[in-house]
């Protein structure tokens, strides 16, 4: 059985929980308090961060790597595109999400006021840029829910919590976010702490 060591408020862990629930398979989630990490976390992951996936003698960390492994192991429903070209494009998007959006989370959660304000601005601008896409399509890659939607959902869930206000042009993105949040697997994957992030 797969075991996911998951931070209760960690957006990266939330991604992995969403995928596990979307797949509807047997797994165990071990909740990790990020302010009081168990010693064995550093043994499993040299960066001492969540999430960590353990299956028999396999230990994986980094949410996108974990999620692709789960997707390969349990292909239904498939979350990465089957076509090699689309799959490469999807990986490029995932890379950009990390680089342009999620790299700012550290500053929001642990930075100075100035760093946090800068991070808010960068995330707001990036999200506002992609918002128009959702005036014409349901999900990131069109009509099908995919790994890209999984990857961005935890950030969208935390916008209020992080104090990020999108301008009016962001409206299609917020509608898209509500579509993601209403998926049964999304709701099941939420921890009690994450539920409290949104009023």
Question: Which of 162, 170, 75 minimizes the C-alpha distance to 132?
Answer: 170
Alpha carbon distance 62, 79 (integer Å): 17
Q: How many CB atoms lie within 10 A of CB 130?
A: 19
147 within 8 A of 68, measured Cβ to Cβ: yes
Annotated catalytic residue: which of 2, 10, 108, 152?
10
Question: CB neighbours of 190 closer than 8 A, spacing ≥ 6?
Answer: 14
> Which helix (H) or strand (E) segment is 170 a member of?
none
Alpha carbon distance 189, 81 (integer Å): 23
Q: Is 10 a catalytic residue?
A: yes
Question: Which of 60, 195, 198, 75 minimizes the C-alpha distance to 147?
Answer: 75
Q: Which residues belong to the active site? A: 10
């Amino acid at each position: 059985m797969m075991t996911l060591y998951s931070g209760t408020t960690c957006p990266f862990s939330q991604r992995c929980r969403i995928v596990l629930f979307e797949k509807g398979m047997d797994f165990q989630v071990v909740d990790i308090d990020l302010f009081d990490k168990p010693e064995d976390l550093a043994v499993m992951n040299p960066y001492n961060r969540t999430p960590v996936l353990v299956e028999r003698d396999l230990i994986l960390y980094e949410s996108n790597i974990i999620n692709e492994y789960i997707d390969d192991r349990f292909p239904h429903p498939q979350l990465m595109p089957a076509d090699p070209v689309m799959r490469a494009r999807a990986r490029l998007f995932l890379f950009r999400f990390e680089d342009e959006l999620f790299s700012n989370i550290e500053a929001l959660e642990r930075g100075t006021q100035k760093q946090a304000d800068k991070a808010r601005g960068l995330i707001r601008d990036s999200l506002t840029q992609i918002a128009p896409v959702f005036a014409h399509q349901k999900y990131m890659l069109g009509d099908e829910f995919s790994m890209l939607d999984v990857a961005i959902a935890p950030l969208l869930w935390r916008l209020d919590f992080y104090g990020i206000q999108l301008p009016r042009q962001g409206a299609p993105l917020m509608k898209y976010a509500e579509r993601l949040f209403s998926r049964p697997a999304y709701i099941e994957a939420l921890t009690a702490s994450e539920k409290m992030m949104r009023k």
